[in-house]
Amino acid sequence: MKKAQVVLVPSPGIGHLVPAIEFAKRLLDQDDSFLITVFVITKAPFGPDPDTCNQSMLTTIDTRIQYITLPKVTPPDLDPLRSPENYFTTFMEAHKPLVRDAVVNQVMSIKPAVPVVGLVVDLFCASMIDVANELGISSYVYFASSAAFLGLLLYLPTRQEQAGIEFKETDPDLIVSCFANPVPARVMPSVLLNKDGGYTCFENLGRRFMEAKGIVVNSFAELESHAVRSFSGGGAPPVYTVGPLVNINGHSLMGSNLDQHGKILEWLDDQREKSVVFLCFGSIGRFREAQVKEIALGLEQSGHRFLWSIRKPPLEGHSALPSDYNNFEEVLPDGFLERTKNIGMVCGWAPQMQVLAHKSIKGFVSHCGWNSILESLWHGVPVVTWPMHAEQQINAFQMVKDLGLAVEMTLDYRMRSNNLVMADKIAKSVECVMEEDREVRNRVNAMSEASRKAVMEGGSSFSAIGDLIKDMLS
Protein backbone atom coordinates (compact mmCIF):
# COMPACT_ATOMS: atom_id res chain seq x y z
CA MET A 1 0.00 0.00 0.00
CA LYS A 2 1.15 3.54 -0.72
CA LYS A 3 2.85 5.23 2.22
CA ALA A 4 1.20 8.12 4.07
CA GLN A 5 2.31 10.19 7.05
CA VAL A 6 0.42 11.06 10.24
CA VAL A 7 1.70 13.58 12.78
CA LEU A 8 0.54 13.50 16.42
CA VAL A 9 0.80 16.56 18.65
CA PRO A 10 0.03 15.59 22.27
CA SER A 11 0.20 18.04 25.15
CA PRO A 12 3.16 17.61 27.51
CA GLY A 13 2.65 15.26 30.44
CA ILE A 14 2.49 11.50 30.86
CA GLY A 15 -1.32 11.45 30.84
CA HIS A 16 -1.29 12.93 27.33
CA LEU A 17 1.84 11.40 25.82
CA VAL A 18 1.16 7.75 26.68
CA PRO A 19 -2.41 7.67 25.22
CA ALA A 20 -1.10 9.31 22.03
CA ILE A 21 1.59 6.66 21.69
CA GLU A 22 -0.97 3.90 22.30
CA PHE A 23 -3.14 5.33 19.52
CA ALA A 24 -0.14 5.46 17.17
CA LYS A 25 0.67 1.82 17.96
CA ARG A 26 -2.93 0.75 17.29
CA LEU A 27 -2.96 2.62 13.96
CA LEU A 28 0.26 0.90 12.89
CA ASP A 29 -0.97 -2.51 14.04
CA GLN A 30 -3.90 -2.15 11.67
CA ASP A 31 -2.05 -0.52 8.76
CA ASP A 32 1.75 -0.62 8.86
CA SER A 33 2.07 1.48 5.71
CA PHE A 34 1.75 4.65 7.81
CA LEU A 35 4.78 6.69 8.82
CA ILE A 36 3.93 8.18 12.22
CA THR A 37 5.72 11.03 13.94
CA VAL A 38 4.98 12.17 17.48
CA PHE A 39 6.00 15.69 18.47
CA VAL A 40 7.30 15.67 22.04
CA ILE A 41 7.05 18.78 24.18
CA THR A 42 9.54 18.07 26.92
CA LYS A 43 8.94 20.92 29.33
CA ALA A 44 5.46 21.54 30.60
CA PRO A 45 4.80 24.84 32.38
CA PHE A 46 4.26 22.68 35.43
CA GLY A 47 4.78 18.98 35.92
CA PRO A 48 7.75 16.65 35.45
CA ASP A 49 11.04 17.82 34.01
CA PRO A 50 12.38 16.03 30.90
CA ASP A 51 14.71 13.90 33.01
CA THR A 52 11.77 12.69 35.09
CA CYS A 53 9.80 11.89 31.94
CA ASN A 54 12.72 9.72 30.77
CA GLN A 55 12.64 10.61 27.07
CA SER A 56 15.14 7.87 26.23
CA MET A 57 12.44 5.27 26.94
CA LEU A 58 10.18 6.54 24.15
CA THR A 59 11.96 4.72 21.36
CA THR A 60 11.95 1.47 23.34
CA ILE A 61 8.13 1.42 23.49
CA ASP A 62 7.68 1.08 19.73
CA THR A 63 10.50 1.47 17.23
CA ARG A 64 8.05 2.06 14.37
CA ILE A 65 7.27 5.56 15.69
CA GLN A 66 9.50 8.58 15.06
CA TYR A 67 9.80 11.22 17.78
CA ILE A 68 10.70 14.86 17.24
CA THR A 69 11.40 16.95 20.32
CA LEU A 70 10.26 20.54 19.92
CA PRO A 71 12.29 23.48 21.27
CA LYS A 72 11.18 25.05 24.52
CA VAL A 73 9.03 28.18 24.60
CA THR A 74 8.69 30.85 27.25
CA PRO A 75 5.76 30.06 29.57
CA PRO A 76 2.89 32.55 29.43
CA ASP A 77 2.73 35.44 31.87
CA LEU A 78 -0.36 34.07 33.62
CA ASP A 79 -0.99 32.63 37.07
CA PRO A 80 -1.26 28.85 36.55
CA LEU A 81 -3.07 28.41 39.87
CA ARG A 82 -6.01 30.64 38.87
CA SER A 83 -6.92 28.51 35.86
CA PRO A 84 -4.45 25.72 35.03
CA GLU A 85 -6.39 24.77 31.89
CA ASN A 86 -6.37 28.29 30.47
CA TYR A 87 -2.67 28.59 31.28
CA PHE A 88 -1.95 25.24 29.67
CA THR A 89 -3.91 26.04 26.50
CA THR A 90 -2.16 29.40 26.15
CA PHE A 91 1.19 27.65 26.60
CA MET A 92 0.34 25.16 23.85
CA GLU A 93 -0.77 27.91 21.46
CA ALA A 94 2.72 29.41 21.72
CA HIS A 95 4.02 26.21 20.08
CA LYS A 96 2.13 26.76 16.80
CA PRO A 97 5.14 28.21 14.90
CA LEU A 98 7.33 25.35 16.15
CA VAL A 99 4.80 22.73 15.06
CA ARG A 100 4.45 24.35 11.64
CA ASP A 101 8.22 24.48 11.15
CA ALA A 102 8.67 20.87 12.25
CA VAL A 103 5.94 19.64 9.90
CA VAL A 104 7.37 21.57 6.93
CA ASN A 105 11.09 21.06 7.55
CA GLN A 106 11.22 17.60 9.14
CA VAL A 107 8.10 15.74 8.02
CA MET A 108 7.11 17.09 4.61
CA SER A 109 10.72 17.38 3.49
CA ILE A 110 11.57 13.65 3.52
CA LYS A 111 12.67 12.11 0.21
CA PRO A 112 10.99 10.50 -1.56
CA ALA A 113 8.02 12.68 -0.61
CA VAL A 114 5.25 11.01 1.38
CA PRO A 115 1.96 12.92 1.81
CA VAL A 116 0.84 13.98 5.28
CA VAL A 117 -2.78 12.83 5.57
CA GLY A 118 -3.49 13.89 9.14
CA LEU A 119 -2.38 16.22 11.90
CA VAL A 120 -3.77 14.69 15.08
CA VAL A 121 -3.99 17.05 18.08
CA ASP A 122 -5.18 16.41 21.61
CA LEU A 123 -7.41 18.35 23.98
CA PHE A 124 -5.19 21.33 24.76
CA CYS A 125 -3.71 21.55 21.24
CA ALA A 126 -6.87 22.50 19.36
CA SER A 127 -5.19 25.72 18.19
CA MET A 128 -2.92 23.51 16.03
CA ILE A 129 -5.91 23.08 13.70
CA ASP A 130 -4.77 26.46 12.35
CA VAL A 131 -1.46 24.87 11.33
CA ALA A 132 -3.26 22.05 9.54
CA ASN A 133 -5.49 24.51 7.71
CA GLU A 134 -2.51 26.65 6.65
CA LEU A 135 -0.64 23.64 5.28
CA GLY A 136 -3.67 22.02 3.65
CA ILE A 137 -3.60 18.97 5.95
CA SER A 138 -6.68 17.29 7.41
CA SER A 139 -6.92 17.82 11.17
CA TYR A 140 -8.19 15.27 13.68
CA VAL A 141 -8.70 15.56 17.42
CA TYR A 142 -7.50 12.70 19.60
CA PHE A 143 -9.66 12.80 22.72
CA ALA A 144 -8.16 10.73 25.55
CA SER A 145 -11.21 11.10 27.80
CA SER A 146 -14.71 9.66 27.55
CA ALA A 147 -17.19 10.11 24.73
CA ALA A 148 -19.63 11.58 27.25
CA PHE A 149 -17.14 14.28 28.28
CA LEU A 150 -16.53 15.00 24.60
CA GLY A 151 -20.27 15.47 24.16
CA LEU A 152 -20.31 17.90 27.08
CA LEU A 153 -17.52 19.98 25.50
CA LEU A 154 -19.29 20.05 22.14
CA TYR A 155 -22.44 21.22 23.97
CA LEU A 156 -20.70 24.21 25.59
CA PRO A 157 -20.88 26.58 22.59
CA THR A 158 -24.65 26.02 22.46
CA ARG A 159 -24.95 26.62 26.19
CA GLN A 160 -22.82 29.74 25.87
CA GLU A 161 -25.36 31.20 23.46
CA GLN A 162 -28.16 30.37 25.92
CA ALA A 163 -26.60 31.22 29.29
CA GLY A 164 -23.34 33.03 28.61
CA ILE A 165 -21.73 32.22 31.97
CA GLU A 166 -19.84 29.39 33.64
CA PHE A 167 -21.63 26.76 35.72
CA LYS A 168 -22.32 27.21 39.42
CA GLU A 169 -22.58 24.28 41.83
CA THR A 170 -26.04 25.51 42.82
CA ASP A 171 -27.36 25.30 39.22
CA PRO A 172 -30.24 22.88 38.59
CA ASP A 173 -29.45 19.48 37.12
CA LEU A 174 -28.46 19.73 33.47
CA ILE A 175 -29.96 17.75 30.61
CA VAL A 176 -27.20 16.92 28.11
CA SER A 177 -27.88 14.40 25.35
CA CYS A 178 -24.60 12.53 25.89
CA PHE A 179 -25.60 11.51 29.45
CA ALA A 180 -28.46 9.13 30.18
CA ASN A 181 -29.35 10.91 33.43
CA PRO A 182 -29.63 14.58 34.42
CA VAL A 183 -26.21 15.83 35.50
CA PRO A 184 -25.88 17.67 38.85
CA ALA A 185 -23.79 20.83 38.58
CA ARG A 186 -21.74 19.68 41.59
CA VAL A 187 -20.14 16.92 39.47
CA MET A 188 -19.14 19.26 36.66
CA PRO A 189 -15.38 19.42 36.04
CA SER A 190 -13.79 22.19 38.08
CA VAL A 191 -12.75 23.98 34.89
CA LEU A 192 -16.41 24.54 33.99
CA LEU A 193 -16.96 26.21 37.37
CA ASN A 194 -13.92 28.46 36.91
CA LYS A 195 -14.52 32.19 36.48
CA ASP A 196 -10.87 33.02 35.71
CA GLY A 197 -10.83 31.87 32.10
CA GLY A 198 -11.24 28.12 32.56
CA TYR A 199 -14.84 27.88 31.38
CA THR A 200 -14.22 30.21 28.43
CA CYS A 201 -11.13 28.19 27.51
CA PHE A 202 -13.10 24.93 27.30
CA GLU A 203 -16.03 26.54 25.52
CA ASN A 204 -13.53 27.68 22.88
CA LEU A 205 -12.04 24.17 22.69
CA GLY A 206 -15.50 22.72 22.06
CA ARG A 207 -15.97 25.25 19.27
CA ARG A 208 -12.59 24.44 17.68
CA PHE A 209 -13.26 20.67 17.81
CA MET A 210 -16.17 21.22 15.40
CA GLU A 211 -13.65 22.35 12.75
CA ALA A 212 -11.77 19.03 12.70
CA LYS A 213 -12.33 16.43 10.00
CA GLY A 214 -12.87 13.80 12.68
CA ILE A 215 -12.60 13.13 16.41
CA VAL A 216 -10.90 9.99 17.71
CA VAL A 217 -12.04 8.91 21.19
CA ASN A 218 -10.34 6.50 23.58
CA SER A 219 -13.52 4.60 24.34
CA PHE A 220 -15.56 1.81 22.79
CA ALA A 221 -19.13 1.66 21.58
CA GLU A 222 -20.23 -1.06 24.00
CA LEU A 223 -19.13 0.99 27.01
CA GLU A 224 -20.65 4.34 26.04
CA SER A 225 -23.44 3.36 23.69
CA HIS A 226 -25.71 6.21 24.85
CA ALA A 227 -23.04 8.89 24.42
CA VAL A 228 -21.95 7.53 21.04
CA ARG A 229 -25.54 7.53 19.75
CA SER A 230 -25.92 11.14 20.85
CA PHE A 231 -23.46 12.27 18.16
CA SER A 232 -25.67 11.00 15.32
CA GLY A 233 -27.18 13.84 13.37
CA GLY A 234 -25.84 16.48 15.74
CA GLY A 235 -23.65 18.31 13.25
CA ALA A 236 -20.41 17.15 14.91
CA PRO A 237 -17.50 15.75 12.87
CA PRO A 238 -17.41 11.95 12.58
CA VAL A 239 -16.53 10.37 15.95
CA TYR A 240 -14.34 7.25 15.92
CA THR A 241 -14.35 5.19 19.14
CA VAL A 242 -11.09 3.25 18.91
CA GLY A 243 -10.48 2.18 22.52
CA PRO A 244 -9.71 0.96 24.96
CA LEU A 245 -6.17 2.15 24.24
CA VAL A 246 -4.42 0.93 27.36
CA ASN A 247 -0.76 0.47 28.11
CA ILE A 248 -1.06 -3.30 28.48
CA ASN A 249 2.67 -3.88 28.94
CA GLY A 250 2.84 -1.29 31.69
CA HIS A 251 5.62 0.83 30.17
CA SER A 252 6.31 3.80 32.41
CA LEU A 253 7.81 7.08 31.23
CA MET A 254 8.17 8.26 34.79
CA GLY A 255 11.27 7.56 36.80
CA SER A 256 10.58 4.10 38.20
CA ASN A 257 11.93 2.45 41.32
CA LEU A 258 12.16 -1.06 39.90
CA ASP A 259 13.27 -2.49 43.24
CA GLN A 260 10.17 -1.08 44.94
CA HIS A 261 7.95 -2.34 42.11
CA GLY A 262 9.43 -5.80 42.55
CA LYS A 263 8.61 -5.73 46.27
CA ILE A 264 5.02 -4.70 45.52
CA LEU A 265 4.49 -7.57 43.10
CA GLU A 266 6.18 -10.05 45.46
CA TRP A 267 3.84 -8.95 48.25
CA LEU A 268 0.83 -9.42 45.97
CA ASP A 269 2.08 -12.90 45.04
CA ASP A 270 1.81 -13.85 48.70
CA GLN A 271 -1.85 -12.80 48.99
CA ARG A 272 -4.91 -14.94 48.33
CA GLU A 273 -6.68 -14.59 44.98
CA LYS A 274 -9.12 -11.63 44.92
CA SER A 275 -8.38 -10.57 48.49
CA VAL A 276 -6.76 -7.12 48.11
CA VAL A 277 -8.17 -3.64 47.57
CA PHE A 278 -5.81 -1.31 45.69
CA LEU A 279 -5.79 2.44 46.43
CA CYS A 280 -4.07 4.66 43.87
CA PHE A 281 -4.84 8.22 42.78
CA GLY A 282 -2.83 9.00 39.67
CA SER A 283 0.27 11.00 38.88
CA ILE A 284 -0.89 14.20 40.63
CA GLY A 285 -3.32 12.79 43.20
CA ARG A 286 -2.44 13.56 46.79
CA PHE A 287 -4.16 14.25 50.12
CA ARG A 288 -3.62 16.46 53.11
CA GLU A 289 -2.41 14.73 56.27
CA ALA A 290 -5.85 14.80 57.89
CA GLN A 291 -7.35 12.91 54.93
CA VAL A 292 -4.50 10.39 54.88
CA LYS A 293 -5.24 9.57 58.50
CA GLU A 294 -8.95 9.05 57.74
CA ILE A 295 -8.06 6.65 54.91
CA ALA A 296 -5.80 4.71 57.27
CA LEU A 297 -8.50 4.44 59.90
CA GLY A 298 -11.06 3.42 57.27
CA LEU A 299 -8.82 0.64 55.98
CA GLU A 300 -8.30 -0.63 59.50
CA GLN A 301 -12.04 -0.61 60.16
CA SER A 302 -12.75 -2.55 56.95
CA GLY A 303 -10.37 -5.33 57.95
CA HIS A 304 -9.56 -6.07 54.30
CA ARG A 305 -6.14 -6.58 52.81
CA PHE A 306 -4.91 -3.48 51.02
CA LEU A 307 -2.18 -2.06 48.81
CA TRP A 308 -2.10 1.73 49.22
CA SER A 309 -0.06 4.14 47.09
CA ILE A 310 0.55 7.37 49.04
CA ARG A 311 2.13 10.45 47.45
CA LYS A 312 3.55 13.49 49.22
CA PRO A 313 1.96 16.84 48.24
CA PRO A 314 4.21 19.63 46.96
CA LEU A 315 4.70 22.70 49.14
CA GLU A 316 1.67 24.97 49.48
CA GLY A 317 1.29 27.24 46.45
CA HIS A 318 3.60 25.13 44.27
CA SER A 319 2.40 23.36 41.12
CA ALA A 320 4.98 20.55 41.10
CA LEU A 321 4.01 16.90 41.01
CA PRO A 322 3.69 14.87 44.23
CA SER A 323 6.71 12.88 45.36
CA ASP A 324 7.28 9.76 47.42
CA TYR A 325 7.62 9.93 51.21
CA ASN A 326 10.94 8.98 52.75
CA ASN A 327 9.11 7.87 55.89
CA PHE A 328 5.40 7.02 55.84
CA GLU A 329 5.18 7.32 59.62
CA GLU A 330 5.34 11.10 59.32
CA VAL A 331 1.86 11.15 57.79
CA LEU A 332 0.17 7.95 59.05
CA PRO A 333 -1.52 7.45 62.46
CA ASP A 334 0.75 6.28 65.25
CA GLY A 335 1.23 2.53 65.13
CA PHE A 336 -0.72 2.05 61.87
CA LEU A 337 2.09 0.31 60.00
CA GLU A 338 2.72 -2.07 62.89
CA ARG A 339 -0.97 -2.89 63.38
CA THR A 340 -1.56 -3.60 59.69
CA LYS A 341 1.74 -5.25 58.74
CA ASN A 342 0.07 -8.63 58.21
CA ILE A 343 -2.76 -7.40 55.99
CA GLY A 344 -1.53 -4.32 54.15
CA MET A 345 1.29 -2.69 52.23
CA VAL A 346 1.91 1.04 51.91
CA CYS A 347 4.02 2.19 48.95
CA GLY A 348 4.89 5.24 46.85
CA TRP A 349 4.50 5.26 43.08
CA ALA A 350 3.00 1.93 41.99
CA PRO A 351 2.96 0.11 38.62
CA GLN A 352 -0.81 0.47 38.30
CA MET A 353 -1.43 -1.65 35.20
CA GLN A 354 0.63 -4.54 36.57
CA VAL A 355 -1.12 -4.31 39.91
CA LEU A 356 -4.60 -4.32 38.37
CA ALA A 357 -3.62 -7.35 36.32
CA HIS A 358 -2.62 -9.31 39.43
CA LYS A 359 -4.89 -12.15 40.52
CA SER A 360 -4.98 -10.97 44.13
CA ILE A 361 -6.67 -7.61 43.32
CA LYS A 362 -10.44 -7.48 43.82
CA GLY A 363 -11.26 -3.75 44.12
CA PHE A 364 -9.74 -0.41 43.11
CA VAL A 365 -10.23 2.88 44.99
CA SER A 366 -9.45 5.32 42.20
CA HIS A 367 -9.40 9.00 41.25
CA CYS A 368 -11.40 8.02 38.13
CA GLY A 369 -8.99 9.30 35.53
CA TRP A 370 -10.21 7.92 32.20
CA ASN A 371 -7.03 5.88 31.60
CA SER A 372 -7.43 4.28 35.03
CA ILE A 373 -11.10 3.49 34.38
CA LEU A 374 -10.26 1.76 31.10
CA GLU A 375 -7.43 -0.19 32.75
CA SER A 376 -9.70 -1.34 35.57
CA LEU A 377 -12.41 -2.44 33.13
CA TRP A 378 -9.85 -4.26 30.97
CA HIS A 379 -8.86 -6.35 33.99
CA GLY A 380 -12.37 -6.70 35.40
CA VAL A 381 -11.64 -4.83 38.65
CA PRO A 382 -14.55 -2.74 40.02
CA VAL A 383 -13.78 0.87 40.93
CA VAL A 384 -14.67 2.79 44.07
CA THR A 385 -15.02 6.43 42.98
CA TRP A 386 -12.86 9.12 44.56
CA PRO A 387 -12.50 11.83 41.87
CA MET A 388 -10.05 14.65 42.52
CA HIS A 389 -9.51 17.00 39.56
CA ALA A 390 -9.87 17.54 35.79
CA GLU A 391 -12.95 15.71 34.42
CA GLN A 392 -12.85 12.97 37.06
CA GLN A 393 -16.06 14.04 38.83
CA ILE A 394 -18.09 13.64 35.62
CA ASN A 395 -16.33 10.31 34.94
CA ALA A 396 -17.33 9.07 38.39
CA PHE A 397 -20.93 10.21 37.84
CA GLN A 398 -21.15 8.39 34.54
CA MET A 399 -19.61 5.20 35.91
CA VAL A 400 -21.98 5.07 38.89
CA LYS A 401 -25.23 6.60 37.63
CA ASP A 402 -25.28 6.04 33.87
CA LEU A 403 -23.35 2.78 33.54
CA GLY A 404 -23.64 1.00 36.90
CA LEU A 405 -19.98 -0.02 36.68
CA ALA A 406 -18.60 1.48 39.91
CA VAL A 407 -19.25 1.74 43.64
CA GLU A 408 -19.85 5.29 44.84
CA MET A 409 -17.73 6.67 47.64
CA THR A 410 -17.92 10.29 46.50
CA LEU A 411 -18.76 11.96 43.19
CA ASP A 412 -17.88 15.58 43.91
CA TYR A 413 -14.66 15.55 45.95
CA ARG A 414 -12.09 18.09 44.72
CA MET A 415 -8.39 18.02 45.48
CA ARG A 416 -8.27 21.63 46.68
CA SER A 417 -11.35 21.36 48.89
CA ASN A 418 -11.21 21.26 52.68
CA ASN A 419 -13.82 18.53 52.89
CA LEU A 420 -12.87 15.27 54.55
CA VAL A 421 -14.14 11.85 53.53
CA MET A 422 -14.45 10.20 56.91
CA ALA A 423 -13.14 6.79 57.93
CA ASP A 424 -16.60 5.23 58.34
CA LYS A 425 -17.54 6.07 54.75
CA ILE A 426 -14.21 4.79 53.44
CA ALA A 427 -14.58 1.53 55.36
CA LYS A 428 -18.15 1.05 54.11
CA SER A 429 -17.13 1.65 50.48
CA VAL A 430 -14.23 -0.79 50.73
CA GLU A 431 -16.49 -3.40 52.29
CA CYS A 432 -19.01 -2.87 49.51
CA VAL A 433 -16.55 -3.41 46.68
CA MET A 434 -14.95 -6.38 48.43
CA GLU A 435 -18.09 -8.11 49.72
CA GLU A 436 -21.43 -6.82 48.50
CA ASP A 437 -21.15 -5.56 44.94
CA ARG A 438 -22.13 -8.72 43.06
CA GLU A 439 -24.26 -6.81 40.51
CA VAL A 440 -21.53 -4.24 39.83
CA ARG A 441 -18.89 -6.97 39.61
CA ASN A 442 -20.96 -8.95 37.11
CA ARG A 443 -21.39 -5.83 34.98
CA VAL A 444 -17.65 -5.09 35.15
CA ASN A 445 -16.75 -8.65 34.17
CA ALA A 446 -19.07 -8.45 31.15
CA MET A 447 -17.60 -5.09 30.15
CA SER A 448 -14.08 -6.48 30.54
CA GLU A 449 -14.91 -9.14 27.98
CA ALA A 450 -16.51 -6.54 25.70
CA SER A 451 -13.45 -4.28 25.93
CA ARG A 452 -11.18 -7.06 24.71
CA LYS A 453 -13.52 -8.07 21.89
CA ALA A 454 -13.83 -4.45 20.73
CA VAL A 455 -10.17 -4.24 19.71
CA MET A 456 -10.02 -7.67 18.07
CA GLU A 457 -10.54 -8.13 14.34
CA GLY A 458 -14.25 -7.64 13.66
CA GLY A 459 -14.77 -5.72 16.92
CA SER A 460 -16.35 -2.28 17.09
CA SER A 461 -13.11 -0.39 17.74
CA PHE A 462 -11.18 -2.39 15.15
CA SER A 463 -13.83 -1.41 12.60
CA ALA A 464 -13.76 2.23 13.74
CA ILE A 465 -10.00 2.42 13.14
CA GLY A 466 -10.58 0.92 9.70
CA ASP A 467 -13.11 3.66 8.97
CA LEU A 468 -10.67 6.29 10.23
CA ILE A 469 -7.90 4.96 8.00
CA LYS A 470 -10.21 5.07 4.97
CA ASP A 471 -11.10 8.67 5.85
CA MET A 472 -7.45 9.66 6.21
CA LEU A 473 -6.49 8.09 2.89
CA SER A 474 -9.51 9.33 0.95
Does the active-site annotation cover 122? yes
Catalytic residue among 16, 261, 358, 389: 16
User: How many whole angstroms separate alpha carbon 221 and alpha carbon 212?
Assistant: 21
* 436-to-70, 184, 363, 459 alpha-carbon distances in Å: 51, 27, 11, 32
Kindly report the number of other CB atoms within 10 A of residue 29's CB atom: 13
Q: Contact 264/307 with Cβ under 8 angstroms?
A: yes
Residue type, 2: K
Catalytic residue among 49, 101, 122, 259: 122
Local structure of residue 293 (DSSP, 8 states) = H
Biggest alpha carbon–alpha carbon distance for the chain: 68
User: How many whole angstroms separate alpha carbon 180 and alpha carbon 225?
Assistant: 10
Residue type, 324: D
Peptide bond into 80 cis (omega under 30): no
Q: Contact 181/237 with Cβ under 8 angstroms?
A: no
- B/e letters for 443-468, b = 16+ CB within 10 Å, e = fewer, are bbeebbebbeebbeeebbbbbbbeeb
User: CB within 8 A of 357, min separation 6: which ones?
Assistant: 250, 379
Residue type, 131: V
Does the active-site annotation cover 16? yes
The residues annotated with a catalytic role in the active site are: 16, 122
